[in-house]
Structure 1
Amino acid sequence: MVAENFTPALAAVLVHEGGYSNHPSDPGGPTMKGVIKRVYDDYRRSKGLPVRDVREITDAELQDIYKRRYWDLVRGDRLPAGLDYVVFDGAVNSGPAQATKWLQRALGLPADGVLGPSTLAAVDAIQDVDAIVADVQARRLAMLKSLRTWAVFGNGWGRRVAEVRELGLA
């Protein structure tokens, strides 16, 4: 439960997100450093700014998007070290609601995708953070394997899940 974990967690996420991509099999479409065009467009509009190519995203915009749309939504500042990064990376890759559901299921809670008071109470009661990290990552990998795009992206996703698990346990 460390607020300053956002910066190293973001650095670790960006290792996996790379630069610009626009893979025909990626439903997210044009993406820069993990931020899809639709998210970037929404962000710029919310700031009263004109839409522009996602390749023009600034470091400040990138950090703000990751903080507001992912870290804050999964309450990263309220999660134990290691688990904060694991849930954050899952949110970036599959959305905050899905990452929260993996966490809720690992905690034995009904999975509604909202990280609210009952989920936070269960987080506060965690006795073995490593077991929860491993459970979340196992659920994440199982879901990714079920996707129709696993054949295209599976090797990278599998490697990412393993590396995130390792860092989350460290």
Structure 2
Amino acid sequence: MAASTYDEALRRLLAHEGGYTNHPSDPGGPTNYGITIIDYRKYVKPNATAADVRVMKLDEAKAIYRAKYWAAQRCDELPPGVDDSIFDYGVNSGIGRSGKVLRRVVGLPDNTSVVTNEVLKAVAKRDAKAIVLAINDERLRFLKGLKTWPVFGAGWSRRVAEVKAFSLSLAEHSVAARPQVAAAPAATAAPAKGVVPPPKALKGLVTKGIPAGGAAGGIGFWEWIAAHPYESGAIVLVSASAIGGAVYALNGWHQARQEAPTPNLIPVPI
């Protein structure tokens, strides 16, 4: 809610995220300061490579965090503690998930992840500490259900525990009343994204092309293309449409799994 909440929340988040990584089991791919290559391409450089991510400037990462994770979730308008928990959850697992979890926790429909005025009013009616506990308990259950838990589970457990403890301290004491801030956690938490790994079929669709073998009558592939320009154009259009539709469907399926509710979540009462 206060600016100093963001400063400390960001400092702790960066300690968790660490520097450059490109772990084969991390769905985020090349990542630096917790910013994946996908986010870097989306917000900074559309054609960025892993090398660009490796030399990312800290100020670039901070700008992305402020606009696309903190402000996008209206954390300045959330109670201390709730803001930190939602911010860290959004960075690690996507604001599509963190926003819906916040809605579920306060008993609102999760047909969108947007933090609306209705969400802010529902949060304000409830005990901030209870919301913090509900968010972080749900987060840990979600992470434990991921296929990558055996690889990154120990680090995720530490991270969630530290976020919960710090968020509870914020909820129990106003930021202005705290003369000192506890040291940020050591950078030992796993720098991996807590997301559902994308389906292998999705990667296959976008990497497969038209077979390079002969197309007809024993002639070469390129010779057939040259001899049948109109047919070739039609094949390309149909193939692109089919691949695009399949990718769209798989992406929707993957997003639905990523944002699906975990069992046993009980909304925080008023």
Q: TM-score, normalised by structure 1?
A: 0.92
Matched, 1:115 2:115: yes
String of CA shifts for 1:123-160, please: whole Å, max 9, x gaps: 2222x111100000011111111111111111111111
The structure, 1 or 2, with the larger RCO (C-alpha pairs under 8 Å, 6+ apart) is 2
Question: Could you tell me which residue of structure 1 aligns to residue 136 of structure 2?
Answer: 137
Q: Which moved more, 1:109-118 or 1:72-81?
A: 109-118
Question: Could you tell me which residue of structure 1 aligns to residue 53 of structure 2?
Answer: 54
Contact kept in structure 2, 1:3 and 1:76, CA below 8 Å? no
Contact kept in structure 2, 1:20 and 1:55, CA below 8 Å? yes
Question: Could you tell me which residue of structure 2 aligns to residue 63 of structure 1?
Answer: 62
Contact kept in structure 1, 2:102 and 2:135, CA below 8 Å? yes
1:78: how far off? 0.6
Over the residues paired in the alignment, what is the CA RMSD in angstroms?
1.4
Q: How does 1:85-164 map to 2 (within 5 A)?
A: 85-111=84-110, 112-126=112-126, 128-164=127-163
Gaps of 5+ in 1: none
Letter of the 1:51 partner, please give it.
A
In structure 1, C-alpha distance between the alignment counterparts of 2:27 and 2:98, rounded to whole Å: 18
Runs of 4+ in structure 1 displaced over 3 angstroms? Answer: none
1:103: how far off? 1.3
Q: How does 1:5-84 map to 2 (within 5 A)?
A: 5-45=5-45, 51=48, 53-84=52-83
In structure 1, C-alpha distance between the alignment counterparts of 2:151 and 2:44, rounded to whole Å: 31
The number of residues matched between the two structures is 166
In structure 2, C-alpha distance between the alignment counterparts of 1:104 and 1:88, rounded to whole Å: 14
Q: TM-score, normalised by structure 2?
A: 0.59
1:8: how far off? 1.2
Larger radius of gyration: 2
In structure 2, C-alpha distance between the alignment counterparts of 1:59 and 1:115, rounded to whole Å: 27
In structure 2, C-alpha distance between the alignment counterparts of 1:133 and 1:78, rounded to whole Å: 15
Give the percent of matched residue pairs that are identical in Structure 1 and Structure 2.
46
Question: Could you tell me which residue of structure 2 aligns to residue 169 of structure 1?
Answer: 168
